[in-house]
Homo-oligomer: A and B are copies of this chain.
């Protein structure tokens, strides 16, 4: 089966393109990770899960993937246009902690959320503050090539100069003239030649405690720079995929492109992939709009916007039910529907091991398998994949009811579909078996002891022995006392 036929939408060309690694079988992928100054919310789950599925699928088809997802722990200012307080430093000031305590605390919590959502660890998870030298050296190249200027200890990127030879706006479609007209002048912008220039290095104000020596001042790097520097360090000057949320297209990714072109005279990224946003009442869910629900709140149900708690697997299923390129509106109804749909699917998968194997199969599961690959190869279309899996569910139920048949070969393909697409690639975990089973043992043992009593009454010792032997396989021991038989787990 031809599996390496993945077509991915490329945000910079606006087309679905066949994915071909620069250096087959190696794939380099960089995704913008969280700024760790608060708990992750539902909106953060979407890029995490989207690129987790891409990471899983690329590995599944045989590529050796180096997946870099950063932690932003310095330089992300409250106002994206280079002014305001550093987000981490502000939280540290409010909580009277060292900024790196804030970083550690929220990084740990982010990791716990990711683990709950069954999002795999990236291959490398670099922190911005751990790559100051790399960022300084990146700035030096930009200055040397004439695209950066120093003003009062800070370094800015000269957008107009860059736009003379290159195209600032190539990703986001922004037009430089529009930018000139629309950019407000914010406090602290006086040092810039133009208000849409962006900071590569900021001289630290006295109260700013995250600071390092540099050739220009004691200061800190601009937010956009870390991704260019760390992407290059770990994936090379040119790499395959750069992902992130659609809200990062401008200014963040546009600036990344400009930085790499200014430093190396070439684009760093071959394939830009952007997930769309989670909305709530039609608005982007975000920290700055204060309309967010944290993942912990979703998992516990503790938020006035929630009718109930939703498990991490429900959230994952909910997100996969939409194509990553479209918006996804939060609602209790949609999450509840996801919960029910996933339960229905899991229930069907639970009976696979108990299906009766016939000599012939009335259903061809290989055709389902092909449709699964087709769905993913068509720009990672997870809703279509889930629809195919629901067709599989229907077939399982018909086989269970004796209306269709399955043979051993097709059963093994069916198991491959579930373990491959449901578990391995979509990263879903069937938790139905765990929860419902545990307290039915007592009832089953009650039945078995009753049947054993009957067998003994009928002097059918073969059956009594059979029972004792089977149970000992699972460490259950039966004790005969004068008041009857009881049992315990050894």
Contacts and interface: CB of A to CB of B under 8 A. Distances in A.
A474 interface: yes
A66 B124 CA distance: 26
A404 to B, nearest CB: 11
Given A98-B234, A447-B467, A450-B466, A435 B130 contact: no
Contact of A448 (B66, B437, B444): B444
* Copies of the polypeptide in the assembly: 2
B66 A98 contact: yes
A450 B447 CA distance: 12
A131 interface: yes
Contact of A213 (B133, B400, B436): B133
A353 to B, nearest CB: 8
A476 interface: yes
Interface in A134-150: 137
Interface string A450-490: 11001100000001001100110111100101111011111
A454 B473 CA distance: 21
Interface in A253-279: none
Contacts of A481: 356, 402
Interface in A302-359: 347, 350-351, 353-358
A288 interface: no
Interface stretch (A8-16, A100-108, A176-184, A383-391): A100-108
A347 B440 CA distance: 19
A432 B435 CA distance: 18
A104 B123 contact: yes
Interface residues of A, number: 77
A137 B133 CA distance: 13
B130 A129 contact: yes
Interface in A221-272: 234
Contacts of A369: none
A132 interface: yes
Nearest to A100: B124
Contact of A473 (B121, B358, B435, B443): B443
Contacts of A131: 130
A127 interface: yes
A123 B101 contact: yes
A1 interface: no
Given A351-B486, A437-B489, A471-B447, A100 B213 contact: no
B474 A443 contact: yes
Interface in A55-81: 66
A255 to B, nearest CB: 23
A164 interface: no
B463 A454 contact: yes
A393 interface: no
A2 interface: no
Contacts of A127: 127, 130
Interface of A: 66, 98, 100-101, 103-105, 108, 111, 121-127, 129-133, 137, 212-213, 234, 347, 350-351, 353-358, 400-402, 432-448, 450-451, 454-455, 463, 466-467, 470-471, 473-476, 479, 481-484, 486-490
4 interchain residue pairs of minimum CB distance = A130-B130, A440-B474, A351-B488, A402-B481
26 contacts: A98-B123, A98-B234, A100-B234, A101-B124, A104-B122, A105-B123, A132-B133, A350-B489, A354-B486, A356-B483, A357-B483, A400-B486, A402-B481, A434-B438, A435-B438, A437-B438, A437-B489, A440-B441, A440-B474, A440-B476, A443-B473, A447-B466, A447-B467, A447-B470, A450-B466, A454-B463
